[in-house]
Amino acid sequence: MKTRTKLPVTGATLALLATVGAHAEDGYDAPGDWPSPMAKHHVGTAVFDRLEYVFPDKEEETLVWDFEAWYGGDISRFYLKSEGENVQGDGAGAEFEALDLRYGHLIADFWELQGGIGYQGNVGTNDHPERFYGVIGLQGTAPYLIETSLDLKVSENGDAWVQLEAEHDVRLTQRLYLQPRAELVASGNDLEEFHMGSGLNSLNAGLRLRYEITRKIAPYVGAYWVKSYGSTADMARAHGEPTENTGLVAGIRVLF
Protein backbone atom coordinates (compact mmCIF):
# COMPACT_ATOMS: atom_id res chain seq x y z
CA MET A 1 0.00 0.00 0.00
CA LYS A 2 1.25 3.40 -0.86
CA THR A 3 1.71 5.79 1.98
CA ARG A 4 0.73 9.35 1.35
CA THR A 5 1.22 12.05 3.83
CA LYS A 6 -0.22 15.51 3.72
CA LEU A 7 2.55 17.67 5.05
CA PRO A 8 2.06 20.79 7.03
CA VAL A 9 4.67 23.39 6.16
CA THR A 10 6.14 23.30 9.66
CA GLY A 11 8.09 20.23 10.46
CA ALA A 12 8.15 19.38 6.79
CA THR A 13 11.69 18.10 6.79
CA LEU A 14 11.14 15.46 9.40
CA ALA A 15 7.87 14.43 7.86
CA LEU A 16 9.40 14.36 4.41
CA LEU A 17 12.12 12.04 5.58
CA ALA A 18 9.48 9.75 7.04
CA THR A 19 7.56 9.78 3.77
CA VAL A 20 10.59 9.05 1.67
CA GLY A 21 11.48 6.27 4.04
CA ALA A 22 8.04 4.76 3.72
CA HIS A 23 8.22 4.86 -0.05
CA ALA A 24 11.62 3.27 -0.15
CA GLU A 25 10.42 0.59 2.19
CA ASP A 26 7.32 -0.10 0.13
CA GLY A 27 9.43 -0.37 -2.98
CA TYR A 28 7.10 1.68 -5.17
CA ASP A 29 8.98 4.34 -7.00
CA ALA A 30 5.91 6.54 -7.46
CA PRO A 31 6.24 10.15 -6.30
CA GLY A 32 4.29 10.95 -3.17
CA ASP A 33 1.88 13.32 -4.89
CA TRP A 34 0.56 10.67 -7.25
CA PRO A 35 -2.74 9.08 -6.34
CA SER A 36 -2.92 5.49 -5.18
CA PRO A 37 -3.55 3.21 -8.19
CA MET A 38 -6.56 1.74 -6.41
CA ALA A 39 -8.80 3.67 -4.09
CA LYS A 40 -9.66 2.16 -0.72
CA HIS A 41 -13.36 1.77 -0.17
CA HIS A 42 -15.59 2.11 2.79
CA VAL A 43 -19.20 1.30 2.25
CA GLY A 44 -22.26 1.16 4.38
CA THR A 45 -25.81 0.01 4.31
CA ALA A 46 -28.94 -0.07 6.39
CA VAL A 47 -31.72 -2.62 6.46
CA PHE A 48 -35.02 -3.12 8.22
CA ASP A 49 -34.81 -6.90 8.15
CA ARG A 50 -38.22 -6.93 9.77
CA LEU A 51 -40.66 -4.07 10.00
CA GLU A 52 -43.90 -5.81 10.79
CA TYR A 53 -47.29 -5.61 12.34
CA VAL A 54 -48.06 -8.57 14.59
CA PHE A 55 -51.56 -9.97 15.11
CA PRO A 56 -51.30 -12.36 18.08
CA ASP A 57 -54.05 -14.80 18.96
CA LYS A 58 -53.89 -13.61 22.57
CA GLU A 59 -53.07 -10.08 23.74
CA GLU A 60 -52.57 -6.85 21.84
CA GLU A 61 -51.41 -6.16 18.32
CA THR A 62 -47.83 -4.97 18.14
CA LEU A 63 -45.50 -3.12 15.79
CA VAL A 64 -42.08 -4.78 15.67
CA TRP A 65 -38.83 -3.66 14.09
CA ASP A 66 -35.44 -5.28 13.57
CA PHE A 67 -32.96 -2.81 12.13
CA GLU A 68 -29.27 -2.97 11.32
CA ALA A 69 -26.92 -0.44 9.75
CA TRP A 70 -23.19 -0.76 9.23
CA TYR A 71 -20.34 1.25 7.82
CA GLY A 72 -16.78 0.26 7.25
CA GLY A 73 -14.34 -1.82 5.26
CA ASP A 74 -14.23 -5.50 4.41
CA ILE A 75 -12.76 -6.63 7.70
CA SER A 76 -13.86 -4.09 10.28
CA ARG A 77 -17.23 -2.41 10.53
CA PHE A 78 -19.28 -0.32 12.89
CA TYR A 79 -22.83 -1.43 13.51
CA LEU A 80 -25.95 0.22 14.77
CA LYS A 81 -28.54 -2.38 15.65
CA SER A 82 -31.97 -2.00 17.03
CA GLU A 83 -34.82 -4.31 17.86
CA GLY A 84 -37.98 -3.19 19.50
CA GLU A 85 -41.74 -3.08 19.60
CA ASN A 86 -44.68 -0.91 20.28
CA VAL A 87 -47.66 -2.72 21.77
CA GLN A 88 -50.75 -1.08 20.37
CA GLY A 89 -53.41 0.28 22.70
CA ASP A 90 -51.54 -0.33 25.96
CA GLY A 91 -51.02 3.38 26.50
CA ALA A 92 -47.26 2.88 26.78
CA GLY A 93 -44.65 4.10 24.35
CA ALA A 94 -42.41 2.02 22.14
CA GLU A 95 -39.70 -0.09 23.71
CA PHE A 96 -36.14 -0.77 22.63
CA GLU A 97 -35.42 -4.40 23.31
CA ALA A 98 -31.97 -3.57 22.05
CA LEU A 99 -30.20 -0.51 20.78
CA ASP A 100 -26.59 -1.53 20.20
CA LEU A 101 -23.48 0.17 18.95
CA ARG A 102 -20.98 -2.46 17.94
CA TYR A 103 -17.62 -2.94 16.33
CA GLY A 104 -17.32 -6.04 14.16
CA HIS A 105 -14.23 -7.81 12.94
CA LEU A 106 -14.17 -10.59 10.34
CA ILE A 107 -12.51 -13.61 11.98
CA ALA A 108 -13.29 -16.29 9.36
CA ASP A 109 -14.66 -16.28 5.83
CA PHE A 110 -18.24 -16.31 7.04
CA TRP A 111 -17.99 -15.13 10.64
CA GLU A 112 -17.71 -11.83 12.35
CA LEU A 113 -16.96 -11.21 15.99
CA GLN A 114 -18.70 -8.18 17.40
CA GLY A 115 -18.37 -6.24 20.58
CA GLY A 116 -20.17 -3.18 21.85
CA ILE A 117 -22.57 -1.56 24.20
CA GLY A 118 -26.33 -1.44 24.23
CA TYR A 119 -29.41 -0.07 25.84
CA GLN A 120 -32.74 -1.64 26.61
CA GLY A 121 -35.60 0.62 27.52
CA ASN A 122 -37.76 3.42 26.27
CA VAL A 123 -38.13 5.19 22.98
CA GLY A 124 -38.71 8.69 24.28
CA THR A 125 -41.11 7.79 27.11
CA ASN A 126 -40.70 6.40 30.61
CA ASP A 127 -42.92 3.34 30.50
CA HIS A 128 -40.46 0.48 30.49
CA PRO A 129 -37.63 -0.72 32.70
CA GLU A 130 -34.18 0.28 31.47
CA ARG A 131 -30.70 -1.19 31.54
CA PHE A 132 -27.37 -0.74 29.84
CA TYR A 133 -25.26 -3.69 28.86
CA GLY A 134 -22.14 -4.82 27.11
CA VAL A 135 -22.47 -7.27 24.26
CA ILE A 136 -20.24 -9.81 22.56
CA GLY A 137 -21.69 -11.26 19.39
CA LEU A 138 -20.90 -13.78 16.74
CA GLN A 139 -22.66 -13.10 13.47
CA GLY A 140 -22.37 -14.90 10.18
CA THR A 141 -23.54 -17.60 7.86
CA ALA A 142 -23.48 -21.15 9.16
CA PRO A 143 -23.14 -24.12 6.83
CA TYR A 144 -26.36 -24.79 4.92
CA LEU A 145 -26.71 -21.03 4.48
CA ILE A 146 -28.19 -20.35 7.88
CA GLU A 147 -27.89 -16.70 8.84
CA THR A 148 -26.94 -16.81 12.48
CA SER A 149 -26.35 -14.39 15.27
CA LEU A 150 -25.43 -15.27 18.81
CA ASP A 151 -25.24 -12.52 21.42
CA LEU A 152 -24.04 -12.65 24.97
CA LYS A 153 -25.14 -9.62 26.95
CA VAL A 154 -24.07 -8.60 30.43
CA SER A 155 -25.88 -5.73 32.11
CA GLU A 156 -24.49 -3.04 34.36
CA ASN A 157 -25.83 -5.06 37.29
CA GLY A 158 -23.94 -8.16 36.23
CA ASP A 159 -26.94 -9.99 34.81
CA ALA A 160 -26.12 -12.14 31.83
CA TRP A 161 -28.30 -13.51 29.06
CA VAL A 162 -27.88 -14.92 25.57
CA GLN A 163 -29.91 -14.55 22.40
CA LEU A 164 -29.65 -16.82 19.42
CA GLU A 165 -31.28 -16.06 16.10
CA ALA A 166 -31.18 -18.21 12.98
CA GLU A 167 -32.90 -17.83 9.65
CA HIS A 168 -32.71 -19.43 6.24
CA ASP A 169 -34.10 -18.41 2.87
CA VAL A 170 -35.74 -21.04 0.73
CA ARG A 171 -35.95 -19.71 -2.80
CA LEU A 172 -39.31 -20.57 -4.34
CA THR A 173 -38.82 -18.34 -7.38
CA GLN A 174 -36.24 -15.69 -8.19
CA ARG A 175 -38.27 -13.21 -6.13
CA LEU A 176 -40.36 -15.29 -3.75
CA TYR A 177 -38.68 -16.56 -0.59
CA LEU A 178 -39.88 -18.72 2.26
CA GLN A 179 -38.00 -17.92 5.43
CA PRO A 180 -38.07 -20.14 8.48
CA ARG A 181 -36.78 -18.30 11.49
CA ALA A 182 -36.08 -19.15 15.11
CA GLU A 183 -35.15 -17.11 18.13
CA LEU A 184 -34.09 -18.36 21.50
CA VAL A 185 -33.45 -16.45 24.74
CA ALA A 186 -31.83 -17.79 27.87
CA SER A 187 -30.83 -16.02 31.05
CA GLY A 188 -28.47 -16.67 33.94
CA ASN A 189 -30.66 -14.97 36.53
CA ASP A 190 -34.24 -14.38 37.52
CA LEU A 191 -35.06 -10.82 36.49
CA GLU A 192 -38.69 -10.24 37.29
CA GLU A 193 -38.54 -6.68 35.97
CA PHE A 194 -37.54 -7.81 32.49
CA HIS A 195 -39.73 -10.92 32.50
CA MET A 196 -36.69 -13.13 32.37
CA GLY A 197 -36.29 -16.26 34.39
CA SER A 198 -33.17 -18.26 34.99
CA GLY A 199 -32.57 -20.81 32.25
CA LEU A 200 -34.30 -21.06 28.89
CA ASN A 201 -36.72 -18.16 28.60
CA SER A 202 -38.48 -18.52 25.33
CA LEU A 203 -38.43 -20.01 21.89
CA ASN A 204 -39.97 -18.25 18.95
CA ALA A 205 -40.33 -20.01 15.60
CA GLY A 206 -41.73 -18.31 12.55
CA LEU A 207 -42.25 -18.70 8.87
CA ARG A 208 -42.38 -15.75 6.48
CA LEU A 209 -43.19 -15.57 2.79
CA ARG A 210 -41.41 -12.64 1.18
CA TYR A 211 -41.74 -11.18 -2.27
CA GLU A 212 -38.85 -9.05 -3.53
CA ILE A 213 -40.42 -6.37 -5.70
CA THR A 214 -36.85 -5.18 -5.99
CA ARG A 215 -33.82 -6.33 -4.04
CA LYS A 216 -34.45 -3.36 -1.79
CA ILE A 217 -38.18 -3.61 -1.13
CA ALA A 218 -39.80 -6.86 -0.11
CA PRO A 219 -43.20 -7.11 1.59
CA TYR A 220 -43.98 -10.31 3.45
CA VAL A 221 -46.61 -12.18 5.45
CA GLY A 222 -45.99 -14.86 8.02
CA ALA A 223 -46.95 -16.74 11.13
CA TYR A 224 -45.17 -17.57 14.36
CA TRP A 225 -45.36 -19.64 17.51
CA VAL A 226 -43.81 -18.56 20.77
CA LYS A 227 -43.55 -20.34 24.10
CA SER A 228 -41.94 -19.44 27.39
CA TYR A 229 -40.33 -21.94 29.68
CA GLY A 230 -39.32 -22.53 33.30
CA SER A 231 -39.41 -19.64 35.70
CA THR A 232 -40.05 -17.26 32.84
CA ALA A 233 -43.28 -19.12 32.20
CA ASP A 234 -44.07 -18.95 35.91
CA MET A 235 -43.64 -15.19 35.85
CA ALA A 236 -45.95 -14.95 32.87
CA ARG A 237 -48.60 -17.02 34.62
CA ALA A 238 -48.28 -14.84 37.73
CA HIS A 239 -48.93 -11.77 35.56
CA GLY A 240 -51.86 -13.46 33.89
CA GLU A 241 -50.01 -13.52 30.59
CA PRO A 242 -50.07 -16.50 28.23
CA THR A 243 -47.06 -18.82 28.22
CA GLU A 244 -47.68 -19.86 24.67
CA ASN A 245 -48.94 -17.83 21.77
CA THR A 246 -49.30 -17.89 18.03
CA GLY A 247 -49.96 -15.12 15.58
CA LEU A 248 -49.76 -13.68 12.12
CA VAL A 249 -47.43 -10.97 10.83
CA ALA A 250 -47.46 -8.64 7.85
CA GLY A 251 -44.46 -6.51 7.14
CA ILE A 252 -41.83 -5.25 4.82
CA ARG A 253 -38.09 -5.75 4.45
CA VAL A 254 -36.38 -2.56 3.35
CA LEU A 255 -32.77 -2.36 2.22
CA PHE A 256 -31.36 1.12 1.83
Partner 1 sequence: MTTKTTTGLSLSRRQLLQGGAALGFGAATLGLSPAWANPWGQSNTYPQGAVEGNDIALAIRRETLAINRRNTRPITINGTSPGPLIRLREGQDATLRVTNLLDEPTSIHWHGLILPPAVDGAPGISFAGIAPGETFTYRFPVMQNGTYWYHSHSGLQEQLGHAGPIVIDAAEREPFRFDREHVVMLTDWTFEEPATVFRNLKTAEGYYNFQERTITDFLADMRENGFRETARSRAMWARMRMSSRDIADVTGSTYTYLVNGQAPEQNWTALFKPGERLRLRFINGSAMTYFDVRIPGLKMTVVAADGQPVQPVPVDEFRIAVAETYDVIITPEAETAYTVFAESMDRSGFARATLAPRLGMEAEMPERRRISDRGMEAMGAHGGMDHSDMAGMDHSDMAGMDHSDMAGMDHSNMAGMDHSNMAGMDHSDMQDDTSPGASKGDLLPAGTAQPGSQYDQAGIGIDPDERRILVYRDLKAFRPWPDRREPEREMEIHLTGNMERYMWSFDGKKFSEVNGPIHFRKDERLRLVLVNDTMMEHPIHLHGMWMELENGAGELIPRKHTINVKPGERVSALITADAEGSWAFHCHLLYHMDAGMFRVVKVS
Q: What residue ranges bind partner 1 (CB under 8 A)? A: 1-2, 25-31, 33-41, 43-45, 74, 106, 109-110, 141, 143-145, 170-175, 215, 255
- Which residues have C-beta within 8 Å of that of residue 116, sequence separation ≥ 6? 79, 100, 101, 102, 103, 134, 135, 137
Closer residue to partner 1 in complex, CB, 46/92: 46
CB of 179 to partner 1, least distance (A): 13
CB of 135 to partner 1, least distance (A): 22
Closer residue to partner 1 in complex, CB, 6/41: 41
Closer residue to partner 1 in complex, CB, 36/157: 36
Closer residue to partner 1 in complex, CB, 104/197: 104
| Distance of alpha carbon 23 from alpha carbon 4, whole angstroms | 9
Question: What is the number of residues in the chain?
Answer: 256
CB of 110 to partner 1, least distance (A): 6
CB of 81 to partner 1, least distance (A): 16
* Cα dihedral across residues 62, 214, 254, 107: positive or negative: positive
Closer residue to partner 1 in complex, CB, 91/144: 144
CB of 9 to partner 1, least distance (A): 22
How many CB atoms within 10 Å of residue 235? Answer: 20
| Distance of alpha carbon 212 from alpha carbon 248, whole angstroms | 20
